[in-house]
Structure 1
């Protein structure tokens, strides 16, 4: 009986991984269709950001299923859902990210701090600069708990479940309510790897 149960568990895990992989592959293929638009906006804005990084952020933010591709409405208008055009979303998002890169470079912190600041806000860059100059999940989690969440009303550390390969890998599949996503930079890193992998497969 125990042997059968183990086999069933393995089967379910393998099946689940297979389904997740297939869905992820198709989602990334869809995101890759935005490459020409990303190239166009990068050229127009003169941003130093790489195409694949922006595609990875699109995948992280919306999987290409929203008019506001890179969820940049809040940085423009302070409210979600304000932007309803793909190009406008990219222009605003890439502009914010590029400004983060400049601030991060001047502060002497790593580029992933600039990426995490896309989720947290530019103030996170100074926070990291004063605490080792390299963002980590633990540092981002502390900032979420001590700065972001309280500023938006969560003063008692309320959390909610957040199941994602990165959060599960780190052994804590949850986030602080109103605390942003302290796994954001790690998610973008993972998605950047997946973007490059799928792009290579599609080209061959």
Structure 2
């Protein structure tokens, strides 16, 4: 019996050590990614000031983390919002300027319709029509509302009339619905991801 207890204690210790190592590696990776994003902090603040959303500079940095972690020329993946197609932006400075301009537009529209900032952030991914939808569903973004819009409005509009889904291996998605997104329906977890990435930036920015 003592040998059995010692065996289980060792297994538990090894398991806990493995978890600590994994968490340490994740923390190191996140810190490195945050450093890569913060390289663009001055550029972000200048663009935010230009478009009169300076108070949301930290949200812009979190969007960069979400979109590219600072490791892509099109840092804010703003080519589609500016040109209607991907891969038409060839400098990070243009990406920031275009992305911040688009974010300012959806923030202003959300404010006009008395919706919260996270409605605007989700609209950065879904498009500005999402703000109209939220305005008639309580004026506050939520996963439930985002999922309904993705499934019933955005996906069919872009050709997915059969409500087809695909696997999305994000921890938040796995926990919420087993990792499911609607084809052509944007990312219902976008605003929530930006929230978490904003926390990571604040945690590791010192």
TM-score, normalising length: structure 1? 0.89
Shift of 1:5: 6.9
- 1: CA distance between counterparts of 2:197 and 2:17? 26
- 1: CA distance between counterparts of 2:11 and 2:184? 40
- 2: CA distance between counterparts of 1:7 and 1:173? 31
- 2: CA distance between counterparts of 1:160 and 1:5? 37
- 1: CA distance between counterparts of 2:21 and 2:11? 15
Aligned partner of 1:55 in structure 2 is 61
Shift of 1:114: 0.6
Q: Which of residues 160, 163, 178 in structure 2 aligns to 1:172? A: 178
Task: For residue 166 of structure 2, give the secondary structure of its aligned residue in structure 1.
Answer: strand
- 2: CA distance between counterparts of 1:7 and 1:171? 32
- Give the conservation status (yes or no) of the 8 Å contact 2:79–2:88: yes
1:113-132 equivalence runs, <5 A? 113-132=119-138
Aligned partner of 1:17 in structure 2 is 23
- 2: CA distance between counterparts of 1:178 and 1:156? 11
Q: Which of structures 1 and 2 has the bigger CA Rg?
A: 2
CA RMSD of aligned residues (A): 2.1
Unpaired stretches in structure 2, ≥5 consecutive residues: none
Task: For residue 192 of structure 1, give the secondary structure of its aligned residue in structure 2.
Answer: helix
Shift of 1:127: 0.1
- 1: CA distance between counterparts of 2:19 and 2:164? 30
Between 86-95 and 116-125, report the one with greater CA deviation: 86-95
TM-score, normalising length: structure 2? 0.88
CA shift digits 1:86-134 (9 cap, x unpaired): 1111111111111111111111111110110000000000100101111
CA shift digits 1:9-29 (9 cap, x unpaired): 655544433322221111111
Unpaired stretches in structure 1, ≥5 consecutive residues: none
- 2: CA distance between counterparts of 1:10 and 1:173? 27
What is the number of equivalent residue pairs in this alignment?
Answer: 200
